[in-house]
Amino acid sequence: MSESWFQPIFDRLPTWMQPLWLVVLGGAAVAVVFWALNLLVRWTMPKIWAVARTTAKEVLHQPVFLVLLLIGAFGIVLFPFIPYNTFGEDVKMLKDSGLTLIRVLAIILVLWSASVSIASEIESRTALTLLSKPIGRRQVIIGKFLGILWLGMLFFLLLGMMFLASVSYKVQYDARETAKPEPKWTECRDEMLQASPGLVLGLLETAILAAISTAISTRLSMVPNMMICTAIYMLGHLTPLLAVSAVGKLEIVVFVANLLSAVLPVLENFTMEGAISTGQTVPVVYLLLAGVYSLIYCTAAMLLALLLFEDRDLA
């Protein structure tokens, strides 16, 4: 860094805190993008924006959001102090554990939110009151999905900033525990940057499951919805393995494996354990391709949700 008025303040900070300005800057950039998208939806689709805003406020006021957020925060604070016994590679285990925790908790949040805001309203006939206003069924479903997705983004933003700070702290903590030389702030920064794409991939995976849960919630209640989405989550991560293991097997086995690979989302594409284990950063091109794949699958799932909700008897 060049000499400037804040250089003395910067030098007096603990090593792990020095690169946190990147976390603050990144969080502010995400907040600005989120605010801009919110304004865009409000100006272009005011009815959808109204439904999305109401959905987000209703779920945000529920205790489940706060409980999941506290669980995630507690885990992220605790992980740096857990001895993983990996001979100097504890920071890799921290990144893997933290990303998995945030992703799983966010998926639980969006699945629960979809069930409460859609399935429960249909069963309690609350949806009839909403549709009695000048709002169509398509606007309701799209608004519900956007409101749930906004909550997922907020969840990732809050826990993601804490997670990156814990990664930076872990570098200095491990050096102190193993009697290594004091790490430079650039080492903490590099570990943070290497883990950052995992948050983006986790959000994309959460968006896919939110769209699937929205479609299922138009027909089924909370328990079947959670069970089906859990099965999709597990199979989605096993799809590449199923396709490879079916090679050379019976025709029916190959057919089922190919069918699952074609219908189910390949969620394994949104994990970065390989990059973490090898210390590599996920390329920007990969993130763009993953974003396109997530957008396509979310669009397909929302089209299915619109079809299922269009002729649903709400009376």
Instruction: Kindly state whether residue 241 falls inside one of the protein's structural domains.
Output: no
The residues, ordered by sequence, that sit 6+ positions from 26 with a Cβ below 8 Å of its Cβ are 161, 196
Of 186, 214, 238, residue with least CA distance to 119:
214
Instruction: Kindly state whether residue 271 falls inside one of the protein's structural domains.
Output: no
Instruction: Kindly state whether residue 315 falls inside one of the protein's structural domains.
Output: no
Distance separating alpha carbons of residues 277 and 94, to the nearest angstrom: 11
Query: How many domains would you assign to the chain?
Result: 1
What is the per-residue pLDDT for 208? 95
Mean pLDDT of 216-243: 85
Q: What's the pLDDT tens digit per position in 301-310?
A: 999 999 988 8
Instruction: Kindly state whether residue 213 falls inside one of the protein's structural domains.
Output: yes
142, 44 contact by CB (below 8 A): no
Residue 15 DSSP symbol: G
What is the per-residue pLDDT for 100? 92
Handedness of CA 101, 105, 108, 114 (dihedral sign): negative
Instruction: Kindly state whether residue 202 falls inside one of the protein's structural domains.
Output: yes
pTM of the complete model: 0.89
Instruction: Kindly state whether residue 6 falls inside one of the protein's structural domains.
Output: no
In the three-class reduction of DSSP (H, G, I as helix; E, B as strand; rest coil), residue 241 is classed as: helix
Does residue 54 surpass a pLDDT of 70? yes
Residue 264 DSSP symbol: S
235, 260 contact by CB (below 8 A): yes
Instruction: Kindly state whether residue 266 falls inside one of the protein's structural domains.
Output: no
Tell me the Ramachandran region of residue 88: left when phi exceeds 0, alpha when psi lies from -120 to 50, beta otherwise: left
99, 202 contact by CB (below 8 A): yes
For 84, the domain range is 14-235+281-310
Q: Report which secondary-structure segment, H or E, holds 85.
A: none
Instruction: Kindly state whether residue 240 falls inside one of the protein's structural domains.
Output: no
Q: What's the pLDDT tens digit per position in 116-133?
A: 888 777 776 666 666 666
